Structure 1
Amino acid sequence: MHAAMRILALAIMVVVLTACWDQRSIQETSYVTSLGIDYDEKEELYSIYGTLITMSDVAKTEGASGKAFPSYIGHGKGESPQLALKALYRSTQLRPSLDHLMTIVVKENALTRIPDILDSFNRSRTVRYNISMAATTEPLDELLASDTFFNSPMYTFLYTRRVRGPAVPAVQMMNLQAFIRQFYEKSHTTLLPVLKLDRSSWKQGGKSKKYIYFDGAHAIVGQKQHEELGEPLVQGVKWFHSDQKGAFLEVRDDEGKFVAIFAVTTGKGRLTYNRHSGKDGAFKAVVSVKAYIYELHDKAVEVQLEAWAENGIREKLQQSLATGRARRIDLIGLEDELYRHHLAAWKKLKKTGIEVTSLPIDVVVDVKVTNSGKHKL
């Protein structure tokens, strides 16, 4: 009798443990892969745009049909980001999920609402800290519905964490964890890359295509103040914000005539502070670049080409620093260098009200050609 009861209890447990009463097929779930966030100051409402995919759609693109990947772009409004999402979800025919959210794009109008946006999504257990962050000035519905190459949903800068080659941006997209760390750091100026749409460079079957590219950045200072930085401005300071491997570097002579193109193999900026230089100290910005000759239009020795390249980088960096000084924007992390490694000097400047960007900066550039591309230059 006892043996029979034990067998019956064991059978019941086996049935319960192996039951699939709450099973849900992945084809029955719609996954939000990217979100666009805007804010209307007059209406005091958030706008949320979301890109949806289903696993069945992804499976179809892996076959031989060659059909284009369908884009589902939803839109909802609300007094908070979550209320806007709720409005978006109400007509979603399949159960929505943020488990595969990869990118959040913030419209420039919503940059002043970053604290509320972060609070909203940080409380969601499904939103991971490795999703990418970017800004845009484009209509969000057009940006999220931009074309992709070869009908693949992943062949777009919207989902590319690190861009390599000639298209490498001056400011790469950062993940949510890095953004939060910089945003709430009192000494840091956060640079968000700006995504725009190229509507004229590509066609398919005679029809124009819209593809995403990087163009400039938004500087966020003091958590609420933000400034738009054009592409020429961030090009001068790109060595401090982005791995430039594979980027093209234009080389011009002293008269400004184009003579060559270098392909960068390594390029980085380094910042140091000397508290004994001048009354309040001074900075030294060093840019080190290694590259090979990709294209040569005028004959010149390598030493001359290197000198011209150094002059071009130095001139752009000095122009960017001068613009940053005039607009009181720390473009290369001057204050962060002081705060982390020279705290006493940082406190002194804060106490006296001296702007860190007003301190002198000595710019040093070193360019080395590692390969001429031919046996003879």
Structure 2
Amino acid sequence: MMIVLTLAAIGLSGCWDSFDLQDIQYVTALGIDYDSEEDEYIIYAQSIDFSHLSVSQEGMSEVDSGAWVAEARGETILMALENFSSKSNQMLHWGHVNVLVYSMKALEHEPIIEINEGLYRFHQVRTTPWVFGTAESLEEILLLTNMYGDIVHTELFNPDTVYKERAFIEPITLHQLMRNYAEKGRIVVLPRVGINKKELKDNNNKKKDAMSSDGAILLKGDSEPKLFTDLQLAGLRWLNNQTENSPLQIEEDGKTIAALNIIRPKNRIHSEVINGEVFFDVHIDVHASLLDFPPDETLGASRTIKEILQLMEKMIEKQVRDTYLLGLNNEKDVYSLENQFYRSDVRSYNQMKQTFELTEASLRNITVRAVIEHTGEYEFYRDRVPKSEQQ
């Protein structure tokens, strides 16, 4: 009899506190906002009905995405998160949060390290979600779907896939953000997301909003966050060794000379202290594939490969310097040159860390060495490139 009762107890002990999946509400994304009038945080929580992901996407509409967004408020981040428990008639599970989106209002209210303090205390939220910033409605962004009505196959949940195809602003996770923020002299480049109104159209001529990614919000210490576009930060990609593919259009006198794809640029930065002032020399190696010449013979068709290389090197150099000067004018060290100096020569840095200051002259030399590895089909190469260069 004792053996039977013991076996029964063992059988019951393994599942007495289990729950069915349909009894749990899974939170997949969070938006963090701040209401200055009420002096409280607003948290938007996105939850998805995963049963929608297992069925055919054919014919799905925006209302079929199976997602909802709830709002909760609190004087602190932690209080706002705790207030969600009264808004759901099911158990909430926070371990599947894969996206965090911060509003500009929240970022301007206090440093992001203080905002994230509450998230770290809320133990169910991990440190691996993708992080973004925005100046638009968090509620609308968290409800955006792709063209097939799927809410999880968007750039919010898969930013690295888009980045590999078209590299401008590198996606980062929460733990990368906090690591970079804590490093001496390093700036945080927080990717920005937004909404393109009525950009997509279906075969019924119905239009819907689409997600956009353009630029980044630059964060450093207690200073005011600044928002810049992709065009303004064009030089940033050439000093990021994670860049795999990035487009570049060469223009001259307002006309397109050639379209290229830059492949895996590599950079080296050297610092030198002269009379108590730091100077930086940047060397960039780029490999490119030539995608197209314009058909007009007076434009790209008349250019030699050597001329295109010279124009490409000149344009990349200009983008790097323009982005640096833009950051300088907004009190932002876009390329984290202070961090580079600290890492490469910590003794000199410690001697002048109180007087360290970047000026227009600090970025002394920018050297670009470009190579065109692919020119397209053989006929294209033969027809457009002079015979002397073909050899």
TM-score by shorter chain over 0.5: yes
Number of aligned residue pairs: give it: 368
Residue 36 (structure 1) aligned with residue 31 (structure 2): yes
Q: For the residues of structure 2 that align with 1:175 and 1:278, how far apart are their CA atoms?
A: 40
**What is the RMSD of the two structures over their aligned residues, measured on CA atoms?**
2.3
Query: Per the alignment, do residues 25 and 8 of structure 1 end up closer, same or farther by CA in structure 2, a change over 3 Å counting?
Result: closer
Do the aligned residues in 2 keep the contact of 1:99 with 1:126 (CA within 8 Å)? yes
Do the aligned residues in 1 keep the contact of 2:49 with 2:67 (CA within 8 Å)? no
User: Where does residue 182 of structure 2 map in the other structure?
Assistant: 184
SS of the aligned residue for 1:210 comes to strand
Do the aligned residues in 2 keep the contact of 1:38 with 1:47 (CA within 8 Å)? yes
SS of the aligned residue for 2:339 comes to helix
Q: Of residues 326, 344, 347 in structure 1, which corresponds to 2:350?
A: 347
User: Where does residue 216 of structure 1 map in the other structure?
Assistant: 215
Residue 320 (structure 1) aligned with residue 315 (structure 2): no
Instruction: Report the CA distance between 1:200 and its aligned residue.
Output: 4.2
Question: Where do 1:28-107 residues align within 5 Å?
Answer: 28-59=23-54, 61-62=55-56, 66=60, 68-107=64-103
Which of 89-98 and 328-337 deviates more? 89-98
**Structure 1 segments of 4+ aligned residues over 4 angstroms from their partners:** 62-67
Q: Please list every run of 5 or more consecutive structure 2 residues that lacks an aligned counterpart in the other structure.
A: 295-299, 385-391
Q: For the residues of structure 2 that align with 1:220 and 1:64, how far apart are their CA atoms?
A: 42
Instruction: Report the CA distance between 1:169 and its aligned residue.
Output: 4.7
Q: Of residues 368, 372, 376 in structure 2, which corresponds to 1:365?
A: 368
Deviations 1:314-366 (A, max 9, x none): 11211111222222210111010111121122223323x24135524311112
Deviations 1:150-172 (A, max 9, x none): 23333211111414469635222
Query: Per the alignment, do residues 223 and 169 of structure 1 end up closer, same or farther by CA in structure 2, a change over 3 Å counting?
Result: farther
Do the aligned residues in 2 keep the contact of 1:46 with 1:81 (CA within 8 Å)? yes
Of all paired residues, the percent bearing the same amino acid is 21
Residue 124 (structure 1) aligned with residue 84 (structure 2): no
Do the aligned residues in 1 keep the contact of 2:248 with 2:260 (CA within 8 Å)? yes
Deviations 1:165-213 (A, max 9, x none): 6963522221111111111223211111111111143212312221112
Query: Per the alignment, do residues 296 and 211 of structure 1 end up closer, same or farther by CA in structure 2, a change over 3 Å counting?
Result: same
Instruction: Report the CA distance between 1:64 and its aligned residue.
Output: 6.3
Residue 26 (structure 1) aligned with residue 26 (structure 2): no
* Structure 2 residue identity aligned to 1:106: Y
Query: Per the alignment, do residues 167 and 200 of structure 1 end up closer, same or farther by CA in structure 2, a change over 3 Å counting?
Result: farther
Give the TM-score of the pair, scaled to structure 2.
0.87
Deviations 1:238-291 (A, max 9, x none): 2224733232111123x342111112222243322123x565231112222211
Residue 243 (structure 1) aligned with residue 242 (structure 2): yes
Q: For the residues of structure 1 that align with 2:359 and 2:104, how far apart are their CA atoms?
A: 25
Which of 219-228 and 129-138 deviates more? 219-228
Q: Please list every run of 5 or more consecutive structure 1 residues that lacks an aligned counterpart in the other structure.
A: none
Residue 173 (structure 1) aligned with residue 171 (structure 2): yes
Instruction: Report the CA distance between 1:58 and its aligned residue.
Output: 2.8
Instruction: Report the CA distance between 1:40 and its aligned residue.
Output: 1.8
Residue 294 (structure 1) aligned with residue 291 (structure 2): yes
Which of 339-348 and 305-314 deviates more? 339-348
Deviations 1:28-54 (A, max 9, x none): 111111111111223211011111113
Do the aligned residues in 1 keep the contact of 2:281 with 2:364 (CA within 8 Å)? yes
User: Where does residue 230 of structure 1 map in the other structure?
Assistant: 229
Query: Per the alignment, do residues 227 and 136 of structure 1 end up closer, same or farther by CA in structure 2, a change over 3 Å counting?
Result: same
Deviations 1:87-108 (A, max 9, x none): 3332223221111100100001
Q: For the residues of structure 1 that align with 2:279 and 2:157, how far apart are their CA atoms?
A: 40
